[in-house]
């Protein structure tokens, strides 16, 4: 298993920051304060180097060559698969390389829900899902005659589990939910939900886009059936996403895309499929991105995910305190650190979130503003949009103070 042992010394942020070239730049005459890692993280030099080294030293297409480079590229790609599996403490044959979380969830919705479920079967989601964990299920439901139902969200941002057993009863076949909300930061009590779901023979699909980068996540421990995440949110390059699924489920699922690399035999009339997980990897994969993702796993584990998580919670506590001090700021989501991570949404009264984001940018502070691909959650919160600050291992307490000062500027401009 990967080194996710309990961290002892605090994280050395200055050393971490030195690993990220982009953090040296300025924005609008100010040092960059990057508080948008929930959208995508920045990349350390070791990840950039690993991707470069792949192209400079090994580049060839995979799974087809008899030549040396082809074999090296295949080794690099397959060892990246092993590395990612270790990172999430899961069997490697369940790791499918895709582009991102969105593609991974579409694969489950298309090849499992649409193909293997029956009309009338139910899928349960929550009110706080990213569109990536909602729209694919809507498409599958429409095409296969499935129904959707939803866990709701309490005013404090926690999931309302009071009717969980009712929702997991027949005809429910699968529940899919985010481990950590990208808007509210809420962390779902997944172990309890998985245990309850399995008692009802309901499969669990976890959208781990906002958890795998930030805390130790063990598939074996969670005991989930599907887990999706994006390499670009965990210091890896864009273009490498992961679906982990129980291999026996992947065996039963028909292919998602057809083409090269995913077949065993092809005649003009019909084809048979390659083994799992290759059956789901049609066409030339992004080997460079997979290599970078493996380097990102090394990078995060060398620091220690417990240590990263602790650092982020300290920053989040500071962030919540700073936001509370600014006049007219409303924070959405849990106020305590017990069940939350470092994505914090807020609004400044009387100021549109986009204006907040634009003024913060003038001060060099990057936050996201909008509906965060969670329009149903915006409706639940009764807001059109929010501003969102999200922290990662390279952020400092001084940067949180810089956000506070820049919000003071927002207040000054809008009186
Ligand atoms: N699920 C969650 C919980 C997410 O936060 C995101 C991206 C996705 C799925 C989709 O990830 P992708 O890599 O396939 O695009 N979230 C955000 C965000 O909060 N701001 O920009 C992207």
Looking at the annotation, which residues are catalytic?
Answer: 373
If one counts every other C-beta atom within 10 angstroms of the C-beta of residue 235, the result is 29
Please give all residues whose beta carbon lies within 6 A of any atom in ligand 1, as ranges.
38-39, 100-102, 130, 132-133, 178, 182, 207, 209-210, 230, 368, 372-373
Q: Whose CA is nearest to atom 17 of ligand 1?
A: 39
Stretch(es) of the chain classified as CATH 3.40.640.10: 47-301
Question: What is the reported pLDDT for 64?
Answer: 80
Stretch(es) of the chain classified as CATH 3.90.1150.10: 13-43+304-414
Q: Whose CA is nearest to atom 11 of ligand 1?
A: 101
| CA atoms 371, 376, 381, 383: torsion sign | positive
SS3 235: coil
Locate the ligand 1 atom nearest the alpha carbon of residue 390 and give its number: 19
CA dist 83 and 285 (Å) reads: 17
The answer to whether the beta carbons of residues 293 and 110 sit under 8 Å apart is: no
Residue whose tokens read 């508080």: 35
C-alpha distances (whole Å) from 103 to each of 209, 229, 250 are: 12, 10, 15
373 CA from centroid of ligand 1 (Å): 8
Question: What is the reported pLDDT for 9?
Answer: 86
Question: What is the reported pLDDT for 7?
Answer: 45
Q: In the CATH hierarchy, which fold is given to the domain comprising 47-301?
A: 3.40.640
Residue whose tokens read 């403490």: 89
- Quote the pTM value: 0.97
Question: What is the reported pLDDT for 65?
Answer: 75
Q: Which residues of the chain have pLDDT under 50?
A: 1-5, 7
Question: What is the reported pLDDT for 4?
Answer: 44
The answer to whether the beta carbons of residues 204 and 249 sit under 8 Å apart is: no
Q: Whose CA is nearest to atom 4 of ligand 1?
A: 209
Q: Whose CA is nearest to atom 21 of ligand 1?
A: 39
39 CA from centroid of ligand 1 (Å): 6
102 CA from centroid of ligand 1 (Å): 8
Cα 290 vs. chain centroid, distance in angstroms?
16
| CA atoms 43, 47, 53, 54: torsion sign | negative
Question: What is the reported pLDDT for 387?
Answer: 98
Q: Report the b/e string of 255-281 with b at 16+ CB within 10 A.
A: bbeeeebbbeeeeeeeeebbebbbbbb
Question: What is the reported pLDDT for 8?
Answer: 66
Return the beta strands (E) in 220-260 as ranges: 226-230, 241-245
CA dist 9 and 258 (Å) reads: 49
Locate the ligand 1 atom nearest the alpha carbon of residue 179 and give its number: 3
The answer to whether the beta carbons of residues 227 and 243 sit under 8 Å apart is: yes
Residue whose tokens read 């990208």: 182
The answer to whether the beta carbons of residues 229 and 263 sit under 8 Å apart is: no
Locate the ligand 1 atom nearest the alpha carbon of residue 183 and give its number: 19
Q: Looking at the structure, give the CATH architecture of the domain made up of residues 13-43+304-414.
A: Alpha-Beta Complex (3.90)
Among 97, 108, 132, residue to substitute to test ligand 1 (most atoms within 8 Å of Cβ):
132
CA dist 141 and 29 (Å) reads: 50
């Amino acid at each position: 298993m990967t080194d996710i042992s309990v961290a002892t010394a605090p994280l050395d942020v200055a050393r971490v920051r030195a690993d990220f070239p982009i953090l040296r730049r300025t924005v609008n005459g100010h040092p960059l304060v990057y508080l948008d890692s929930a959208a995508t993280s920045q990349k350390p030099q070791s990840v950039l180097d690993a991707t470069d080294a792949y192209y400079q030293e090994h580049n060839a297409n995979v799974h087809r060559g008899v030549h040396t480079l082809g074999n090296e590229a295949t080794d690099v790609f397959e060892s990246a698969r092993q590395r990612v599996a270790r990172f999430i403490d899961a069997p490697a044959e369940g790791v499918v390389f895709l582009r991102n979380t969105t593609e991974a969830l579409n694969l489950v919705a298309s090849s499992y829900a649409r193909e293997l479920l029956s009309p009338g079967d139910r899928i349960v989601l929550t009110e706080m899902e990213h569109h990536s964990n909602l729209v694919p299920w809507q498409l599958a439901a429409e095409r296969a005659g499935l129904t959707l139902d939803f866990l709701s969200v309490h005013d404090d941002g926690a999931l309302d589990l009071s009717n969980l057993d009712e929702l997991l009863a027949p005809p429910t076949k699968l529940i899919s939910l985010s481990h950590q909300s990208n808007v509210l930061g809420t962390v779902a009590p997944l172990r309890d939900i998985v245990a309850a779901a399995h008692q009802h023979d309901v499969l669990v699909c976890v959208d781990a886009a906002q958890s795998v980068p930030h805390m130790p996540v063990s598939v074996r421990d969670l005991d989930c059936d599907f887990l999706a995440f994006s390499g670009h949110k965990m210091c890896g390059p864009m273009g490498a996403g992961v679906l982990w699924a129980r291999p026996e489920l992947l065996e039963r699922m028909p292919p998602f895309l057809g083409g090269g690399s995913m077949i065993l035999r092809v005649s003009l009339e019909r084809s048979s499929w390659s083994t799992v997980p290759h059956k789901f990897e049609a066409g030339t994969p992004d080997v460079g991105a997979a290599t970078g993702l493996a380097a990102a796993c090394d990078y995060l584990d060398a620091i220690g995910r417990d240590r990263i998580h602790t650092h982020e919670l300290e920053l989040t506590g500071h962030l919540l305190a700073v936001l509370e001090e600014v006049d007219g700021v409303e924070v959405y989501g849990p106020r305590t650190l017990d069940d939350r991570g470092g994505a914090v949404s807020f609004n400044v009264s009387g100021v549109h979130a986009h204006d907040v984001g634009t003024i913060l940018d003038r001060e060099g502070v990057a936050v996201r503003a909008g509906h965060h691909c969670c329009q149903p959650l915006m409706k639940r919160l009764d807001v059109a949009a929010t501003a969102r600050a999200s922290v990662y291992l390279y952020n400092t307490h001084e940067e949180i103070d810089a956000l506070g000062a820049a919000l003071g500027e927002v207040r000054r401009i809008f009186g």
